[in-house]
Each structure stands twice: as structure tokens, then as C-alpha cells.
Structure 1
Amino acid sequence: MGKPRPPSNVKKPWPDEAALEKAVLAKCETEFEKIFGRPWDPACKKGLHDDHKRLFVQDQEARKLWEDLRRIVGKIEGFAKRWGLSPADVMALPGNTPRGVSLVMWLEEHGSHVGRAKDDAYEMPGIPEGVRGMVIQLWERVDPRFLPYQSTKPEQASTVGVTLFPGGPDDQTLELSDRELAVVSLLCGSWPKINQVDLDAGISVAIVIDRERKHIENARKHRPARL
């Protein structure tokens, strides 16, 4: 008699994480096309990462400018208090440059900002956290005709076309579920934690996608306000 065959439900271990990732991404590309009716464009991943980097740099620069403004407001207030001057008096001092006048006029016009500049740290709403945050921000509600960073014609360079909110009589906006967002998130470079035990046990592609879905669900609950 020959050797008994192993049960058909026994899973083969993955040789490495790269092989698992390749299988997961292949499944995600198939699902992406079913969801949107268009093939996955790798330019989407590059565009999302480029935009996240741009937002991060913009946020860091804005924080520095806000701190500079706080220091300037403090100096102007201290100067005016020492000399018993009002903002109008400061503006009328001899030797004021047009640039200096513009600053004081701005402070007068935006009085509420002066208080914030003195007392509050800079906080820019809407900066997504990581790839998952960007995916939620850009893909949660999207028109399949104008996908973020994806060209309508494959031969053209990818262009940004984002529809964040439904609107208009010809609106075709899709509201993606956590799982659908997980598919996009994986294609854009997110990856849930996978250990050697998972690989040896032959973890399924479906389980990996579901792990990412749980990350998306949690990220949606704690996301910042929209820009």
C-alpha cells in the first residue's frame, strides 16, 4: 500500500513573508478591479506616499512659523506695555517699514489669533497618520471615475482626481467598507504584523486582509478631523 495522503485542509507553510505578501497583493489587485471596475495603478501608491511626505513637511514648517509668531506677539506686547503704547501707536512709530506696519495691521485685524498665538501650540487638523490615515482620508468616499492619483487613460501620467464627499446629480461616489479600504491600504504599502508562527502555520491571504481591516476600523475611529 502507498503512503496515506495528507488531509486536503492541511496548510503549507510560507517560505518567507515576501511570498505571502506577493499572494496577498495579487488577491487585492483582483478585488480592487471588482470594486472600481478598473485595474490597480501602482502610481496610486507613489502619489499617496508623496502627498503624505508633503503634508508632513508642510505641517513641520507651519509649526515653526506658528512658534515664531508666538514669539513676535510676545515681543510686541512687551514693547507696547513697557512704553504704554497701543498697537496703533506702535504702527505710527518713526522708521516703521511697510512690512512692519503690515504685521501690526494683521495683528489688529485678527485679534483672536493674537490670543491663540500667545497661549496655544500649533495644531493643524486633518494630517493623516501614516499610509492607513491617507487611505481613509482619500479613499473613504471616492468616485470610481476619478480615483486618487490614477489616470483615466493608462498611457497618460497619473493625475489626482479626488471626490471626498457625495454631491451633484451625476454623483457616483462609493462609500468604501473597512474591508475595501483594507484592500487599498495593502496595495498602498500597509502591512499588518506577521510573525514566524503565522508563516509556519500557512496563514491564509484572507486572514491577512482581515487583520488589515481591523487596523482600518481602529484608524477610522481615531482619525483627525478632515482638512
Structure 2
Amino acid sequence: MTLVHSSARLSREDVARKVAHDLEDGFVVNLGVGIPLLVPGAIPPDKEVVFHAEHGVLGVGPLASPETADPDLTDAGKQPITLVSGAAIVDSATSFAMIRGGHLDVTILGALQVSADGDLANWYVPGQQPAVGGAMDLVAGVPEVWVAMEHVDRRGRPKLVQQCTMPLTGHRCVTRVYTDLATFHVRKHQLHLVECTPGVTPAQIREVTEADYVEDLALAPPRES
């Protein structure tokens, strides 16, 4: 296996910045734990995106500083957050009604595994405490499911796999995958590689990806230099 040098990998903040770039103005977006929680701090000032936290916050802003943190105001990862102008605090029933009623445009989630046809496993590692949260409601109720994650796990094993071996959160629900090495879109239940991180070659992506996919690099979204 050809190892990708660490200097070529995007940081977690850079992955979040890439996701933020692709969100459309006016979107209402749910955020899962992990890299997704960094996205609000990466939204450019000329773009309006409303961020939703499943426990009842609509209008999540960037993380709060230690001086201004309110322990009763947190994101899905229990980190202290700020609120944007016009934000609302609602009960859990109302929050999940937004999810189940199809009122969100995108959910951005972390993942343990994503399969070649867009299955998602992100809630349970065998032998550890289960923590499903609202993920199953989100992948069933939101039309776009974007995953933001590292390309391989801590042991260097691919997280883009042919078939998930961990319990599924949702079947054929993922529509995009953003990693520190590449961006994939899912079209007709098949992964398509649309972008490699600068300094990373398609051959290197192939080496660290178990899942079958199609190379569509000509469809890469334009990025600011």
C-alpha cells in the first residue's frame, strides 16, 4: 500500500472548510459530531446557512470562547456554542419534527464506515457503548446526507469499504463524502471520485479505498485558490 504523506492530508478544519464552501446560500443544515461541528466556523460572511442541532437549537453559530461559554448552550458534541441573530431554542419534539417533516436541506455526519453504494455506519462500534442519537431519523428524513471524516481509521484501515461490517445507520442514504484525501459523490448508488486533495494522486486514493468507485475528476467543483 502506498502511504499518503501526512503533509498532503487536509486538517479537520480544512475538511470543514471544504464542506462549508459547497453548502448553498439559504440551506438549513443539521450537524453531527466530529468534523461537522467545525463547519459553522468556516462559513464565509457573504453566505447565510442556518445550522440545526437535534437537541433543539436552530441557528447554531461558531464555538464560544471560554470567556463567553454558557454550559447550557451546546452543540451535539456538548461543546459550548454561540447563536446567530434570530436563533431559536425549541423542545426535542419540535426539533425532530423539523427532521422527520423534511424541513432540513442537508445533514452533515461523521462516519465509521461508508459502503460503495452509500450505506452508512456511524453509531456503534462493537464492544463499546452504543450512541445512536438522532442519526437514524436524520438519514431517513433529510434529502442530502453528507459525510465528513478521515479517509482511514486510526489503524490505517479504509473507512470507504465495499460493504459495511458495523451496524448500519441507514441503507443507501449517503449522497456525498468529504475526507482529508478526497471528495466523493454518490450517484445511482455508486461512489464517484470527483476531487483529490492537492498533492494526492488518484492512484494513492485507490490504494487506501476498499470500496469500488468511478473516477469523475472532470466534475470537481471549482475551489478558491
Same fold judged by TM-score > 0.5?
A: no
> Rg larger in 1 or in 2?
1
More helix by percentage: 1
TM range (shorter): under 0.3
Greater RCO, 1 or 2 (C-alpha within 8 Å, sep 6+) = 1
More strand by percentage: 2
Q: TM-score, normalised by structure 1?
A: 0.22
Q: TM-score, normalised by structure 2?
A: 0.22
